[in-house]
Amino acid sequence: MPTMKFDKRSIDRLPFASKGQIDYFDTETPGLGLRVGTKAKTFFAKTDVRDLSKPKGYRTVKKTLGRYGDITLEQAKRMIEGRTEVQNGEKVFVPGARLEMKNGHSADNGATVTLEDMLDFYFSEKKRSDGRPFKPATVKGYTRIIVRHFETWLPLNLPEVAKLTPETVIARHGQIAGEHGAYGARNAFVMLTAIINYAIIRHPGAITANPLNVLRLGKHMKKIEARTDRLEGNDFKVFYDGIQKFNEITRDAYLICLYHGLRSEEAAGLKWEHVNLEKRELFIPDTKNRRPLHTPLARQSMEVLRRRQEQAPEGNPFVFPSLTTLRRHSTNKSGHVRLMAAELRYKTGLNITIHGLRRSFITTARRLKIFEDADRLTNHVDSSISGRHYDGTGVDDLRGPLQVIANEIERLMLEGVGAKVIQLATAHGV
């Protein structure tokens, strides 16, 4: 993190962040930091305190001191270093924030814990329902949304959070809904609600009720309806014609999504190390449900992957590399293509998402009376006794069903509805 000598002139000259937040630390006052957001600059104290429950025996704690402008740099330094006061005729040293945190007084039943602290605690301490930690991509995505929509609330300590009025909460919800839509507002508040609920469990002495509940009780948040978008009938042909407008790499990524019912990140981030063309198999070690996916490759997907292999940039690990990664100044940090629903809808003219292609694969399979194998091919968990303990279905058992599904998808894309169903020689194997 950047360091600098804090003085009024240098702080005034610091530009606001274009997005997110940047933390600066004073080179002369240990533990004094300045968080620069898109609209505010806030002083905070940071130090390491003893915590034997952590692997290294320490944990980092922070405490918000106040916004720059509401307090001066000199006041922030006194708050962190402490001061001498005269009490009953005697000089008494009042410890500063840094010493308070070192001595374990920062908790104060959670009264000095900020909403920003709780954001860190939530993702570092809580686990998913399966007992595993959150994926880094999940943490990054949720944190970005919280910081974007609630930057001015993050410095609030928990008692201040508890005092957020219904009018304030409803107004903020309306503001986000106006800028990002009803679903965007709901998504942001659902995430923040979970963090505040965790604060109630972690620091019941500081906060006992969630002020965001007014949205649920007042029915302000729009109910999220289950998505049902998928390709139907001649949509397959329209889809196929539309994706020809993409570059070849992105087009082929969409085809793999459809031929295998893969999720967006599973297809976009596919690496060559997980593809075995000789055995005609695909292995994705980490999926959304944390269960690895081991599946055969259909004839159609083999054609796509061989095409990509012939044109693969040397040394690039991705099957579908981003074109910008081949340029000197790349803006794509992931290194692979990005599959975006808005662009897909624009170029195909269909109201379809990337996950809608997954639904299209499953729907096609079910119309062919392929049920259990469709679930296995899309990595849906069979929680039944037979599924958990007796099902020994392997990759080779799935080759025939997958090929039948892929043949039907190919027929619909190339010939459309009404064409005669032709069972190719490869219908039950590549």
Amino acid code (one letter) for 111: A
Q: Grade residue 203 by pLDDT with cuts at 50, 70 and 90.
A: confident
3-class DSSP state of 24: strand
Amino acid code (one letter) for 169: V
Do 95 and 103 contact (CB within 8 A), yes or no?
yes
pLDDT at 89: 62
State the Cα torsion 272-277-281-285 to the nearest 10°: -10
pLDDT at 430: 43
Task: State how far Cα 314 lies from the chain centre.
Answer: 30
Is the predicted pLDDT of residue 418 greater than 60, yes or no?
no
State the Cα torsion 419-421-427-428 to the nearest 10°: 150
**Percent of the chain residues past pLDDT 70, beyond the cut:** 81
Do 323 and 251 contact (CB within 8 A), yes or no?
no
Contacts of 359 (CB under 8 A, 6+ apart): 227, 228, 229, 230
Can you name the CATH fold of 235-415?
hpI Integrase; Chain A (1.10.443)
Q: What angle do CA 295, 300, 302 make, to 5 degrees?
A: 60
pLDDT at 88: 62
Is the predicted pLDDT of residue 137 greater than 80, yes or no?
no
What is the pLDDT averaged over residues 275-300? 87
List the structure tokens of 173.
Answer: 């919800």
Q: Calculate the alpha carbon distances from 105 to 99, 155, 160 in Å.
A: 9, 19, 19
pLDDT in tens, 381-398: 665 555 554 466 789 999
pLDDT at 282: 93
Is the predicted pLDDT of residue 221 greater than 60, yes or no?
yes
pLDDT in tens, 103-114: 554 445 678 788
**Run of H or E including 27:** none
Domain 107-225 has CATH 1.10.150.130: yes
CA distance 114 to 119: 9
pLDDT at 422: 41
What is the pLDDT averaged over residues 353-377? 94
CA distance 284 to 166: 46
Taking all residues of the chain, what is their mean pLDDT, rounded to a whole number? 84
How buried is 217 (Cβ within 10 angstroms: 0-12 exposed, 13-18 middle, 19+ buried)?
exposed
DSSP state string for 318-347 = BSSB-GGGGSSS---SSSB----HHHHHHH
List the structure tokens of 142.
Answer: 């949720």
pTM over 0.85: no
What is the pLDDT averaged over residues 62-70? 88
What is the pLDDT averaged over residues 190-208? 91
| Residue ranges of domains in the chain | 1-106, 107-225, 235-415
Contacts of 24 (CB under 8 A, 6+ apart): 1, 2, 3, 4, 6, 14, 33, 34, 35, 36
3-class DSSP state of 273: helix
